[in-house]
Chain A
Amino acid sequence: MAIPRIQDLDDPTFDPYVSDEVMFGSMPDMHERVAEVRAQCPVHKGSWFTSMGLMPTPEEQVWPEVYRVMTYDGVQQVLNNPEIFSNRAFEPTLGSSFGPHSLSVLDNPEHLKYRKIFQKAFLPNVVGRWGDVYVQPVIDELFGAFREAGKADLVPQFSQLYPFRVIYRMLGMPDEDLAVFQKLMLTQIFFSFAPDKAKEASEKLGTYFTALIEERLENPGEDLVSALATAEVDGERLPVAYVVDFLRQLFNAGGDTTYRATANLLVALLRDGGELYRRVRDDRSLLPRAVEEVIRWESPVSSTNRLVLRDTEIEGVKIPANSVVNASLASADRDETKYACPEKFDIDREQRPKHMGFGQGPHVCIGQHLARVEITRAMETLMDEFPDLRLDPDEDEPVIVGAMLRSPRHVHVRFD
């Protein structure tokens, strides 16, 4: 049985990268605004999205009472008490994009049962091996395309591409479908401003993955789809619907976030004359610290949601049942009571308490170990191949923008 070709959107000119600003915002000063709000009160009524000038999200229509939790302690309480704060909050949003069996919308005991199966493929001892097999070849290919040019824009030419390609190769999918595939994966989460496009993308991905899983069940290989399609839970094969929903989620959870974190790290290291770039280049033991610090400093996902199952209280503020809380990871990671000078990108900082960039609790990021491998490999290779990398003085300085997923649109560099 042959793998089917993936179907493009009915409007093939739709560009998810242009639409990114509408969905996730383009403001450069999000942290300044957040700091002001956090200083007023640890918990505020009203949603993160509308407070940031973004479009209201579908869950606000289902559960209109929304609270923003801004402090580290408050966010920690939300994420670590799943018996009160449910992931059902994502049913109208990520649940419609990825599907009702996506890990993002499941609560225990179902979440625990299936998460362990999927996590098995992303444990540190597994993803460490993927660095050589999948990550490094993709990085080498992309760098090879501009190595002789003397200059590049590292967002469209590198960071925006590589994590998607890594996952794509892990799944053993055909190269000729990559561009359409990446477009669909990004479009499927535009549930707020382009719901028809999001639905179309989600359905086309679902059709494709279902056929792909059937093909891999007939001809299992060494790829991740084969591993998941043949995995068992409690002596039964993992249901196809759960695998499809996981695969739909995988590219956004593992691609969108990693590309932004990598681009943010490039900005942090290269700005101010590139002193930090040279310091890390010359002492690679600092690189893991730089990776953790950029995930604290610019948390890839600014806020996450939970549905409140019973009346409760956060930081002294009463929160009624059937309201939604937006737990702001970005605000928690800049909480002045936890981190000195939180606005400073400081690779010498002790990460105590642990940053919230990957979340906490039962839904802590399943791909965090792969993200670390990818970002570390990317920066190691960059520093080896382009030791004199510097921002291009003839181009605008890169600016990190956005209010939900943040990253620079461009990082123009020069090298000899």
Chain B
Amino acid sequence: MVHLAVPLAETLTFPSFQYRAMAPILVVLGAAVLGVLVEALVPQGARRAVQLAVTLGGLGAALALVVATPASEQGMVAAGALAVDGPTLFLQMTILVVAIVAMLVVAERRVDPSGDAFAPRAAALVGSTEEQEQTRLGWTQTEVWPLFLFAVSGMLLFVAASDLLMLFIALEVMSLPLYLLAGMARRRRLLSQEAAMKYFLLGSFASAFLLYGSAMLFGFAGSLDFAVIADAFRDKPGQLGLQLLGLGLVSVGLLFKIAAVPFHMWAPDVYQGSPTPIAGFMAATVKVAAFGALLRVMYVALGGAAWEWQPAFWVIASITMLVGVVLAVTSSDIKRMLAYSSIAHAGFLLLGVVAFSTAGLSATMFYLLAYGLTTVGAFAIVMLVRGPSGEAGHLSSWAGLGRTSPLLAGVFALFLLALAGIPLTSGFTAKFGVFAAAIESGGVWAVLAAVLASAISAFFYLKVIVLMFFAKPGPDAPAVVVPSLLTSTAIGVAVVATVVLGVFPQVFLDLADASTPFLR
């Protein structure tokens, strides 16, 4: 073996790893591995506290590292597989901030009398005596935390991936833990398991699209590297079949993750079935990560073919927002409504992607920050309104909440107004930015569709507000649980962010603006 090493070293240059630039990803991955060890070594009684410390420590340290990344460390790292540039850092910051807020909600133990939001043992048969016994003993499943951390590390990787293979790996690292987390709800377990199964099957289907598209692009460009693919689109005119197939299939794989129409159907079922804190976490952070990846693929790898995909994407964006809002109007379950709303928001966000400009990039990134924080807050509120058998999902049970719990109803109203894009909330600033970018790029019709969709969306968001403040509470009105400091902090952060990003957004707009463009 020894004599073989000499020629290898001459022909291959080993990649140098810029550990400082990759440190945030490594820290979260390390914390996740540590979490697995904690499961094995720490006695059950202390596990939760240790896991929380590990998770919060890992996420906090990663956030500090992201914020403190010096400009000199930015660049292509890991042999060009990862790009640590402005958009990466901004989106990683967003993911970590939202994940920390979401984590506080996931850790909540006070709202459900029998423990947290997760089944005592996800493997126990639904309705079995074993399950009842475990519930009685108050068992909890602290494996949630390593899974949470793995998902976050996948997201951090996803937005930095600058290579189709890395993109695929990051996608799976992000998705697999989420499939599991979705199936672990304490209440309505069948629904939760069904959601997880669906998410997994459809997610695999989408991954296959992505993988097959990657193969096509590799066949076309001879490389998986975004920069090489981009050059190939510029320099190699032939092989149209490979070009178009690769372009189309890779987009489908990513459009699935952002829940664009017609790849959106998993979202309502999964959001409704998942444990609510996880649904909030997914709705917010997966959206950020998937849009980050989509932006980089479309802007960098496929940027040379922008004029080819832009028409299709204008159409997808318009259809996505219109279908999202129209379906939301008729939904009667609060989590489904939020799911359809997230589909509509994917449509608005796509406007920024299709704009294919610096303004579009920074507007989309700002939108993701604003949307992520508001969404986590909204799902946290959903968790607090409970009937005898868990959360009161049906909209009718939200009637009159403005009278019985004015503070909670007021805060929820603020989140809904932000999601509707009413001025002086973060949602307005965000929408405004992407609309402006889309108009500058000639998408006037798509923006008209967006204005129309916003108008329709106001109906269902404000329908809930009207219901809370102007309707009589029903006979079986749900109770509003007072959460512990964890969830209260999370909601407080979301409220502050929603207001600040609406009234004084300039600092963050500037930050998003300074975080452009992509490196390649």
Partners in one complex: no
Taking beta carbons and an 8 Å cutoff, which residues of A are in contact with B? none
Taking beta carbons and an 8 Å cutoff, which residues of B are in contact with A? none
